[in-house]
Chain A
């Protein structure tokens, strides 16, 4: 017994004739461990839905193999793959009540009525749908339908649970609570789950590892922490994280033990060259143009920092978002306290070398994160 639940190897997906059709998924390889929650994250058209459909069996692979719990499944029909799925469009059976919809997933297991009732009651309580169990899908709200559909998928024992945009329609007041409960439920039972989403907040909240896709190519497959701290390229860096990463074009100059990033409007960020590791020094000094990325929460205010002018100061109850005019662009800062700054006030921006993400200006590939090479 290996601990690999799902193994995707060199999978390609073409729509239309090879060569001049659409190459939706490009040479995708992924390894999902048993008990892991994985998020497939990307904007529409990035290939995440095609990938999901190939794993579920609704779409044949054009090339490559998919193995589930140690057996190759990519040629099997969906019903033989032992995969549970929650559909984006809910796909509840209209003539069945919510209770029957959820219990339907247990049909194949020939459980006693008491066991079925108990399981349904448990999952219904978890998803806050106890009082609508007797209703029909057409008479409940979108958020309730989504929860019912989630219940139908989660109640099953399967080698893999596929959740397609599982929380997009959930009532905002329930979202944080249900995220916690669902994560706990999946972890407690050791289920393996893949959720497909365009919402990086969802992916960060639930996933152990996030697979960021764009243009059919897997951009990065790593823990949320790593993706936040060490994004592989500019796309991942700006796609994951809210508020999004601040991005500035910079030209590099140096000498005399210092290293400077020149931004627009003559703004210069000066650092001791020793603040960077030798590898980073070598990479940076041989380039002229780079792209600088700074996470909003790692921007500090200090009196002797680079001048910026407050343009917007928004308090959201538990965070303050500040946007300041900086180097011909906008620098966004996030602070966890209530910060009161007047519009038009001058502030000093301090960017610690450890908070700098440097990207290649041509390819967008990460060069360095803080002191270290990418």
Chain B
């Protein structure tokens, strides 16, 4: 409990405003752009007064992009659906595999456990382009290229290390005594994992899942190479807006707004839960 003087409060307010402006301005600008036509966007100097139009959103939703050169078909809504499906499925698979693995790494130190954990993390070090070429080859042999299963598999390279390492830290923070106490009270190790470890690491698992979801959502390279138009997510789909008759800034802005909306909503929803969960505390005495 600190008592703060008035000038201190004012300074703090100014600093906070600057930070918020810095981070929020691009999003604000994109949001404004999504309601403008290409002409008003490209007008110099830029102006804040314009007649808002929903044409960008209409084009995305109907899938018909009208340019000076004619009408183009775009699969934006399909791409959005792909993004949702791919990210959700990848995170689900990662959680299913990663949480028990994280528990094992946190609680059972065996010979080489650190090495295995580190190897898993090292997947994140390699530049994706490096592994893409061999991966493409394998996928073609295995018939996995351009399938959802193949993409979800590759996405594990992104999600699994993240979930493993974050959740492991949360498991390690749970006092071993708390789990011992449950074991000694007469419960099996699996019951202990389910009733004690999982609920106590819950906020951490949620945070890791959210982060992995965002990373999966934002992925570009893997999907670009391994998926065709029908399976590709929004990140790749957005390329369609670079047309022969110019870049469709208005539609791009609208596409961005639509594609960050789900992650933003998820983050806002989870934030409440995360804060609540993290302040559960009291794990230690």
Contact = CB atoms under 8 A, between A and B. Distances in A.
| Touch between chains A and B, by CB atoms below 8 Å | yes
- Interface size class of chain A, counting residues whose CB lies under 8 Å from the partner chain: under 10
Query: What 9 A-B pairs are tightest by C-beta distance, nearest first?
Result: A15-B1, A16-B1, A16-B3, A15-B3, A22-B1, A21-B3, A21-B1, A17-B3, A14-B3
Interface in B1-44: 1-3
Contacts of A14: 3
Interface of B: 1-3
Interface of A: 14-17, 21-22
A313 B276 CA distance: 49
Contacts of B1: 15-16, 21-22
A191 B2 CA distance: 34
Contacts, number: 10
10 contacts: A14-B3, A15-B1, A15-B2, A15-B3, A16-B1, A16-B3, A17-B3, A21-B1, A21-B3, A22-B1
A14 B1 CA distance: 10
Contacts of A22: 1
Nearest to A60: B3
B2 to A, nearest CB: 8
A237 to B, nearest CB: 30
Nearest to B4: A16
A21 B1 CA distance: 9
A13 B2 CA distance: 12
B276 to A, nearest CB: 24
B208 to A, nearest CB: 34
A327 to B, nearest CB: 36
Contacts of B3: 14-17, 21
B255 to A, nearest CB: 49
Given A15-B1, A15-B2, A21-B3, 7 more contacts: A14-B3, A15-B3, A16-B1, A16-B3, A17-B3, A21-B1, A22-B1
Nearest to A14: B3
A53 to B, nearest CB: 13
Nearest to B1: A15
Contacts of B2: 15
Nearest to A22: B1
A19 to B, nearest CB: 13
A177 B2 CA distance: 40
Nearest to B2: A15
A15 B1 CA distance: 6
A236 to B, nearest CB: 28
Contacts of A17: 3
A61 to B, nearest CB: 12
A139 B25 CA distance: 51
Nearest to A17: B3
B93 to A, nearest CB: 45
A14 B2 CA distance: 10
Contacts of A21: 1, 3
A264 to B, nearest CB: 35
A15 B3 CA distance: 6
A16 B4 CA distance: 8
A339 B223 CA distance: 84
B143 to A, nearest CB: 60
B140 to A, nearest CB: 58
A178 B242 CA distance: 82
Contacts of A15: 1-3
